[in-house]
């Protein structure tokens, strides 16, 4: 009986052991399944590299096929012209000599009084090889010699007054007098002409039939270059900047006054040199003697970015001619983009540039573009007006 009880107890114990072991295996399996259920497979993708954008750099001054034109501040001059001198050409401005030729293609223009209150122009061309047929040409005055030398320009004229030869010699100013190298009558074709050796100027045959003799002389860049070579004048040399140019709007006009029309008074003979602002192109259009001042070759009107008026110490020489004391400097006006300001100006000597400052003496930046520069007697400064 005792033995049966022991056997029974052993069987119960074994059953309990197997039950515990089975439960353990069961729990272990469930745990593995749960772990498997909780495991998330993350699919990864390899990111494609973002293409680097191709940036086309803006042309720098060294990349551009053009150089900065020292007479305008605009980067549009043939690089082959760097290191070469410009030309300053004396142009007739008498009413009977208008319209002129080639004047709208000049980089800058001076207008100044000669004698009898009549004015004359001095047209500057930075690239002589590109200079068109220009005229009618007129004789030299000392004021034109000084203005030419200020930009190291070769002074081109047709005739001279008695005081010019000594002045250009004493001041080392290179010049070509067309009156010594001219053909009596000829005519170009599209501005081009072949002239004999030693001849670089001519009197235009058509103008000879229409005008007085003194209003008919012409030349062009190709023939001026021939004269420079034949007369052993150096073409090499820098043309200094006409002004302190800026390609962004000049800060000088922050306190400027509106100027839509500027009327420059030279004399009773030239009392209406008028500049009218065109806001569409941001340029001033030039008129004189009551009419637009045009170019016979291009058909266009003189249009400029800047109008500079310099009031100078100009006096009679004691005869019919005048003396302009440019080294005295003076006051004036500068107009551009529909605004005008008062300025001071100075010129240290014949070979020095004209320097513009504001009334406080600070240098003025001039907007890049063509300039028209009026040199007027300071005794009539009050007669120059604008609106």
Q: pLDDT digit string (tens) for 150-164?
A: 999 999 999 999 999
The confidence score (pLDDT) of residue 84 equals 97
Instruction: Say whether pLDDT at 57 is over 90.
Output: no
| Mean pLDDT of all residues in 75-83 | 96
> Across the chain, how many H-helices and E-strands are there?
5, 26
C-beta separation of 250 from 371 below 8 A: no
User: Which token pair is 361?
Assistant: 């003496």
pLDDT band for 248, please (50, 70, 90 cuts).
very high
d(C-alpha 387, C-alpha 372), whole Å: 18
Pick the CATH number of 66-386 from 3.40.50.620, 3.50.90.10, 3.40.50.300, 3.30.300.130: 3.50.90.10
Q: Which residue has the higher pLDDT, 70 or 48?
A: 70
| Nearest C-alpha neighbor of 253 from the set 370, 310, 333 | 333
Please give the mean pLDDT across all residues of the chain.
88
The confidence score (pLDDT) of residue 346 equals 98
| Mean pLDDT of all residues in 234-250 | 96
d(C-alpha 296, C-alpha 286), whole Å: 15
Q: Given the DSSP bridges, would you call strands 306-316 and 330-336 parallel, antiparallel or unpaired?
A: antiparallel
User: Which token pair is 149?
Assistant: 């030398």
| Mean pLDDT of all residues in 190-202 | 97
The confidence score (pLDDT) of residue 122 equals 98
Instruction: Say whether pLDDT at 4 is over 70.
Output: no
* E strand spans, 228-381: 245-246, 257-258, 261-264, 273-278, 283-288, 291-292, 303-304, 306-316, 322-325, 330-336, 339-346, 355-357, 366-367, 371-377
| Mean pLDDT of all residues in 295-299 | 97
| Nearest C-alpha neighbor of 341 from the set 366, 324, 371 | 366
pLDDT band for 116, please (50, 70, 90 cuts).
confident
Instruction: List C-alpha distances in Å: 161 to 71, 143, 290, 313, 359.
Output: 28, 12, 30, 20, 36
The angle at the Cα of 115, spanning 113 to 121, to the nearest 5 degrees, equals 35
Phi, psi of 225 (to 5 degrees): -65, -40
What global pTM score does this model have? 0.84
User: Which token pair is 377?
Assistant: 């007697």
Q: For 158, left (φ over 0), alpha (ψ -120 to 50), or beta?
A: beta
The confidence score (pLDDT) of residue 30 equals 37
SS3 call for 58: coil
Q: Which residue has the higher pLDDT, 383 or 26?
A: 383
Percent of the chain past pLDDT 90, that is, above it, reads 80
What is the four-CA torsion angle of 189, 191, 197, 198, rounded to 10 degrees?
140
C-beta separation of 167 from 155 below 8 A: no
Q: Which residue has the higher pLDDT, 26 or 72?
A: 72
| Mean pLDDT of all residues in 299-327 | 94
C-beta separation of 233 from 81 below 8 A: no
Instruction: List C-alpha distances in Å: 254 to 204, 276, 337, 369.
Output: 48, 21, 12, 19
Element containing residue 92 per DSSP (H, E): strand 87-92
For the chain, helix, strand, coil in percent to 5 are 25, 35, 40
For 87, other C-beta atoms within 10 Å of its C-beta total 27
| Mean pLDDT of all residues in 262-268 | 97
The domains of the chain are located at: 66-386
The confidence score (pLDDT) of residue 357 equals 98
| Mean pLDDT of all residues in 181-189 | 97
Instruction: Say whether pLDDT at 11 is over 80.
Output: no
| Mean pLDDT of all residues in 213-223 | 98
C-beta separation of 361 from 242 below 8 A: no
The confidence score (pLDDT) of residue 321 equals 85
Instruction: Say whether pLDDT at 16 is over 70.
Output: no
What is the four-CA torsion angle of 230, 233, 235, 241, rounded to 10 degrees?
-150
Instruction: Say whether pLDDT at 32 is over 80.
Output: no
User: pLDDT (tens digit, 9 = 90+) per residue, 336-376?
Assistant: 999 999 999 999 999 999 999 999 999 999 999 999 999 99
Calculate Rg over the CA atoms of the chain: 41
pLDDT band for 55, please (50, 70, 90 cuts).
very low
């Amino acid at each position: 009986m005792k033995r049966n009880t022991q056997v029974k107890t052993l069987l119960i114990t074994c059953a309990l052991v197997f039950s515990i072991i089975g439960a353990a295996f069961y729990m272990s399996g469930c745990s593995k399944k749960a772990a498997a259920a909780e495991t998330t497979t993350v699919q990864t993708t390899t990111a494609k590299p973002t293409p680097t954008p191709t940036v086309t750099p803006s042309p720098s001054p060294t990349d551009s096929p053009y150089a900065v034109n020292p007479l305008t501040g605009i980067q549009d001059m043939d690089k082959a012209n760097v290191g070469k001198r410009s030309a300053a050409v004396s142009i007739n401005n008498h009413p009977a000599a208008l319209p002129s030729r080639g004047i709208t293609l000049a980089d800058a223009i001076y207008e100044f009084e000669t004698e009898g209150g009549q004015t004359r122009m001095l047209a500057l061309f930075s690239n002589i090889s590109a200079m068109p047929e220009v005229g009618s040409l007129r004789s030299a005055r000392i004021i034109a010699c000084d203005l030419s030398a200020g930009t190291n320009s070769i002074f081109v004229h047709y005739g001279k007054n008695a005081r010019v030869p000594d002045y250009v010699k004493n001041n080392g100013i290179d010049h070509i007098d067309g009156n010594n190298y001219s053909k009596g009558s000829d005519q170009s074709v599209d501005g081009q002409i072949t002239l004999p050796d030693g001849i670089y100027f001519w009197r235009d045959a058509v103008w000879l039939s229409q005008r007085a003799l003194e209003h008919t002389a012409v030349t062009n860049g190709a023939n001026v270059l021939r004269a420079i070579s034949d007369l052993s004048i150096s073409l090499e040399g820098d043309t200094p900047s006409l002004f302190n140019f800026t390609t962004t709007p000049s800060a000088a006009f922050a306190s400027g006054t509106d100027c839509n029309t500027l009327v420059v008074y030279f004399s009773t003979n030239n009392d209406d040199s008028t500049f009218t602002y065109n806001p569409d192109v941001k340029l001033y259009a030039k008129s004189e003697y009551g009419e637009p001042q045009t170019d016979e070759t291009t058909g266009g009107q003189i249009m400029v970015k800047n109008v500079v008026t310099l009031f100078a110490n100009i006096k009679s020489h004691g005869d019919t001619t005048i003396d302009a004391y440019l080294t005295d400097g003076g006051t004036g006006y500068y107009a551009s983009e529909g605004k005008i300001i008062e300025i001071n100006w100075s010129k240290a000597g014949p070979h020095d540039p004209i320097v513009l400052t504001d009334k406080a003496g600070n240098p003025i930046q001039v907007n890049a573009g063509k300039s028209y520069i009026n040199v007027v007697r300071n005794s009539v400064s009050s007669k120059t007006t604008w609106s």
